[in-house]
Chains A and B, each alone.
Chain A
Amino acid sequence: MIVGWIILGLIVLTILWVIGTYNSLVALRNRVRNAWKQISVQLKRRHDLIPNLVETVKDYMEYEQETLEKVIQARNAATTARSPKEQAEAEGAVTAALRQLFAVVENYPQLKANENVQKLMEELTTTENKIAFARQLYNDLVMKYNTRIEQFPANIVAGWFSFKPFEFFEIPEEEKEVPQVNLR
């Protein structure tokens, strides 16, 4: 009789543990997805800011049409990119083009003194930082989640309900290669 109760207790405990583990995995997975969405939100914000910036600076920068053209092209390519890989590459190109533009702006003191330009540059600087931090959070959470679903004993529950590991976000090659500019 007592053995029966013990077995029943163990079964109940196991079920409770499975529910708890499942729920915590779902919560963590949602955080990962949310972090991914946050990256998209910031990329979208960057797409919206670029036309404004180009519009504001283009009259001052007659000899830099090529740089501006590059930024616009990269931005348009990024907004129309379909697959995640394509998108990552296109966004890398936007970052590269923007950095070049920022470097060029350094050479135009009157442009730098313009209040509107300053405002837009600050907006873009913070958006660049937010993209970087959102990716950092995403990668941190992916690491946490992937470790969690691989480690014993949570991996059993993860296996039953087919929790798949997420891929890390890798910085696109274009972004690594471009000249680095202090955005501050």
Chain B
Amino acid sequence: MIEDRIPCPNCGFLNKPDAQFCELCGEPLPPEAKEKLEEKKPFVFPSLPELPVKDGRLDFYEVISRNKRNTVLLVFLFIMLFAAVGGAIGYLYGNYRTGLMVSSGVAILWVMVALIWGKDISLSFVGAGRVSPEEEPILHHVVEEMSIAAGISKPAVYVVETKGMNAFSTGFSPENSSVAVTRGMLENLSREELQAVIGHEISHIRFYDTRLMITVTALAGLIVIFSDIALRGFIFIGGRRSWDESEEFDIPFKGNIIITLLLLGFVALSPVIAFLLQMAISRKREFIADAGSVELTRNPAGLRKTLEKLLQGNVFVPSASKGNQHLFIVNPLKEDADIKDTIFETHPPLRKRIEILKRMEA
């Protein structure tokens, strides 16, 4: 069993648990390694403000129920918002009921589409391609190992063909989800490091983070589309004003101006809405998924080393965008040095995550 071995501080050889000296190079082994070994089962988590720890164990029921609750709340608010906008437009045309019904119908339909196909939409947006066990045996094996450790069914496995090292997971429920890693990650990480990353992603799945994130992605996507239409519509209508005077295009103007104003309102509001959506996905979830990975692998040093590697290396994903950046294990759009420790970020800085993992090792 890997967790029973003592790594040699000099050459890295994994020695048997009762060894005093390294079997390969003769280096004396640190005595604390032995003590750590004995208390390793079950893993004892330190209490940190970032983690839901109770008696040294991860207490993630609260996390799961909060995620489920926030998902329902978001969907509800979203439908209400669209119903209100539709109702307002309808009212201006003298029939608010039609507007209300049409717009809430569209919103409900969109939510259904988002929840059923959101996973596939995210995957295809990022350009992830499904791989078979024959193509990527080790990746499949590691995903299987971590699913067994977590006691969930094996997610579908995807690869994004890009050099940057990153990974994400998505899906509505642990029974129906996917993990994706980039080619850069497969090429640069050892089996142990890959295990730590997959442990993190599997933890997002088992904590229902993915359900919340998929919802946020879909809702944010529609808001972006709407504000986009609004902006274009404004430019279009604004540009047509001068045409109207030439009498060739006699279009009733009143309605258009109202729609324009409403859409403009939407444009003004959409950053606020997007901000609220981002607030809903707490940045704490990254710390918790890190801890979840440690709970599965019993190896905080493995994840710490991986994150250090990601801190040094390239994590950019060209196909990532503001609409899906929150899905990834590290922010695929920003240098870590540019990430501040504030609520305006989708991820906590890697520096802080590494620091917390170090405290778990101690």
Contact of B298 with A by CB under 8 A: yes
Report the Cα distance A140→B58, complex, angstroms. Answer: 12
Min CB distance B85 to A, Å, is 41
Cβ contact of A134, chosen from B23, B41, B148, cutoff 8 A: B148
State which size class the interface on B falls in: 20 to 34
Q: Which residue of B lies closest to A184 (CB)?
A: B191
Cβ contact of A180, chosen from B16, B137, B141, B149, cutoff 8 A: B16
Q: Mark A102-133, 1 if CB is under 8 A from B, else 0.
A: 00000000000000000100110110011011
Q: Which residue of B lies closest to A181 (CB)?
A: B14
Min CB distance A130 to B, Å, is 5
List, in ascending order, chain B residues with CB within 8 A of A180's CB.
4-5, 14-17
Q: Is the CB of A176 within 8 A of B41?
A: no
List, in ascending order, chain B residues with CB within 8 A of A182's CB.
5, 13-14
Question: A141 and B1 in contact (CB under 8 A), knowing A130-B145, A180-B15?
Answer: no
Min CB distance B152 to A, Å, is 10
Min CB distance B299 to A, Å, is 12
Q: Is the CB of A31 within 8 A of B5?
A: no
Q: Is the CB of A122 within 8 A of B141?
A: yes
Q: Mark B291-331, 1 if CB is under 8 A from A, else 0.
A: 00000101000000000000000000000000000000000
Q: Is the CB of A136 within 8 A of B13?
A: no
User: Which residues between 6 and 60 of chain B lie within 8 Å of chain A, taking CB atoms?
Assistant: 13-17, 23, 41-42
Q: Which residue of B lies closest to A129 (CB)?
A: B145
List, in ascending order, chain A residues with CB within 8 A of B23's CB.
179
List, in ascending order, chain B residues with CB within 8 A of A179's CB.
16, 23
List, in ascending order, chain B residues with CB within 8 A of A34's CB.
151
User: Which residues between 134 and 183 of chain A lie within 8 Å of chain B, taking CB atoms?
Assistant: 134, 136-137, 139-141, 143, 171, 175-176, 178-183
Cβ contact of B144, chosen from A35, A130, A175, cutoff 8 A: A130
Q: Which of B2, B142, B145, B191 has the most CB of A within 10 A?
A: B145
List, in ascending order, chain A residues with CB within 8 A of B356's CB.
none
Cβ contact of A38, chosen from B15, B148, B192, cutoff 8 A: B148
Report the Cα distance A109→B4, complex, angstroms. Answer: 27
Q: Is the CB of B149 within 8 A of A126?
A: no
Q: Which residue of A lies closest to B12 (CB)?
A: A182
Q: Is the CB of B2 within 8 A of A129?
A: yes
Contact of B138 with A by CB under 8 A: yes
Cβ contact of A130, chosen from B13, B14, B148, cutoff 8 A: B148
Cβ contact of B149, chosen from A31, A123, A133, A181, cutoff 8 A: A133
List, in ascending order, chain B residues with CB within 8 A of A171's CB.
1
Binding site for A on B (CB under 8 A): 1-5, 13-17, 23, 41-42, 137-138, 141-142, 144-146, 148-151, 190-192, 296, 298
Binding site for B on A (CB under 8 A): 31, 34-35, 38, 42, 119, 122-123, 125-126, 129-130, 132-134, 136-137, 139-141, 143, 171, 175-176, 178-184
